[in-house]
């Protein structure tokens, strides 16, 4: 089969690759299109210790089963046996596996084999680029479930990439009264404004706009970046007694002014991945047309994988989701 193979940092090659051999309980999906995720990009850049070449990256896909059903796949696979999996928290499973992460082959290929239980049929009305969002959006559904904001909440979002933008859309659907978005890229700020952000600010050039908007602080602040400054920024924007959600994982470690946050009794939440219920809810939202990112989605053929990854890795543009067309 044709596959886009990660062979070395910053190198992807379309080559002939052995077709998967589905194990018992698995089904082979003929991939139609697959989305490039931040995790794939960190793999491509050689920054992920869980992605060693040669490896087929990719975990966001839409395709068809051998019976011809049009489906998406939940690519996060728990062991199904540990206490976390049995209590519905597969995201915390110590043996968690993900498509496109060692040792599982991903979906930038003509075929991928996945457990039958991970497969969800989708309606024809849901187009490929929207269906692919079920996986990233599930992360957003999960974090809002953890944060459980009150009605009319005021929110801050630090980092307006795919995750930050989906969080903005979701916050507005959930009844946020105002949402502040911060990013260092002007194109992303412009996109955030069009998506309904109350205020979108570049912290590098901000002359106090964010601070006066935040006033005594915002009820809920999300860090969707993970750089040290961004994390601290999320705490700085949060009101006393408010909630900070840490999602971005750009840096493993960073220094935070913990004492300042203790004095403000900040509730700090960390959100990782999603459960099966979050994934289902995410798909329901997309089918219902509640979340739409078509305007910020671009598509290239699988053969242009190298160029697509380079574009996303160096992204100064307003493409928030890149989709590779496989067939």
312 binds Zn ion (CB under 5 A): no
Q: How far is the CB of 93 from Zn ion (least distance, A)?
A: 3
93 binds Zn ion (CB under 5 A): yes
Q: Which is nearer to Zn ion, 136 or 159 (CB)?
A: 136
Task: Report the residue from 1, 14, 30, 79 that binds Zn ion according to the rule CB under 5 A.
Answer: 79
Q: Which stretch binds Zn ion (CB under 5 A): 47-55, 71-79, 202-210, 226-234?
A: 71-79
> β-strand 178-182 against 199-201: which pairing, if any?
parallel
Q: Which is nearer to Zn ion, 76 or 126 (CB)?
A: 76
CA distance 323 to 133: 10
92 binds Zn ion (CB under 5 A): no
Q: Which is nearer to Zn ion, 60 or 318 (CB)?
A: 60
104 binds Zn ion (CB under 5 A): no
Q: Which stretch binds Zn ion (CB under 5 A): 59-67, 116-124, 235-243, 275-283?
A: 59-67
What letter would DSSP give residue 288? T
73 binds Zn ion (CB under 5 A): no
Task: Report the residue from 3, 32, 37, 105 that binds Zn ion according to the rule CB under 5 A.
Answer: 37
Q: How far is the CB of 177 from Zn ion (least distance, A)?
A: 30
226 binds Zn ion (CB under 5 A): no
CA distance 269 to 300: 37
85 binds Zn ion (CB under 5 A): yes
Cβ-contact 95, 85 below 8 angstroms: no
CA distance 199 to 221: 14
Integer angstrom CA distances of residue 156 from 64, 185, 262:
39, 17, 20
CA distance 233 to 183: 11
First to last CA, the chain: 12
Q: Which stretch binds Zn ion (CB under 5 A): 104-112, 131-139, 214-222, 317-325?
A: 131-139
Q: What letters, b where the CB count within 10 A reaches 16 and e where it falls short, cover 85-100? A: beeebbbebeebebbb
82 binds Zn ion (CB under 5 A): yes
CA 295 to chain centre: 17
Binding-site ranges for Zn ion (CB under 5 A): 37, 60, 78-79, 82, 85, 93, 135-136
């Amino acid at each position: 089969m044709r596959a886009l193979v990660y062979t070395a940092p910053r190198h992807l090659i379309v080559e002939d690759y052995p077709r998967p051999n589905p194990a018992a309980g698995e089904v082979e999906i003929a991939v139609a299109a697959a989305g490039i995720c931040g995790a794939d990009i960190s793999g491509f850049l050689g920054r992920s210790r869980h992605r060693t070449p040669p490896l087929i990256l990719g975990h966001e896909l839409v395709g068809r089963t051998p019976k011809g059903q049009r489906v998406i796949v939940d690519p996060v696979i728990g062991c199904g046996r540990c206490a976390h999996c049995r209590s519905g928290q597969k995201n915390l499973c110590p043996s968690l596996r993900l498509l496109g992460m060692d040792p599982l082959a991903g979906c930038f290929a003509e075929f991928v084999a996945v457990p039958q239980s991970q497969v969800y049929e989708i309606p024809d009305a849901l187009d490929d680029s929207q269906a692919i969002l079920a996986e990233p959006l599930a992360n957003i559904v999960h974090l809002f479930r953890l944060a459980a904001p009150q009605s009319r909440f005021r929110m801050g979002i630090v980092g307006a990439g795919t995750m930050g933008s989906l969080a903005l859309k979701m916050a507005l659907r959930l009844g946020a009264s105002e949402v502040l978005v911060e990013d260092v890229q002007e194109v992303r700020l412009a996109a955030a404004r069009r998506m309904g952000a109350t205020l979108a600010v570049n912290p590098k050039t901000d002359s106090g706009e964010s601070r006066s908007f935040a006033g005594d602080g915002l009820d809920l602040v999300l860090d969707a970046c993970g750089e040290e400054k961004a994390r601290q920024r999320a705490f700085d924007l949060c009101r006393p007694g408010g909630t900070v959600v840490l999602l971005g994982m750009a840096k493993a470690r960073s220094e935070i002014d913990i004492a300042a946050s203790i004095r403000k009794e900040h509730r700090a939440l960390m959100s990782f991945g999603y459960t099966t219920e979050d994934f289902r809810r995410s798909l329901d939202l997309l089918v219902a047309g509640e979340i739409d990112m078509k305007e910020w989605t671009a598509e290239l053929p699988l053969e242009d994988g190298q160029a697509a990854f380079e574009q996303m890795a160096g992204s100064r543009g307003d493409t928030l989701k890149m989709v590779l067309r496989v067939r």
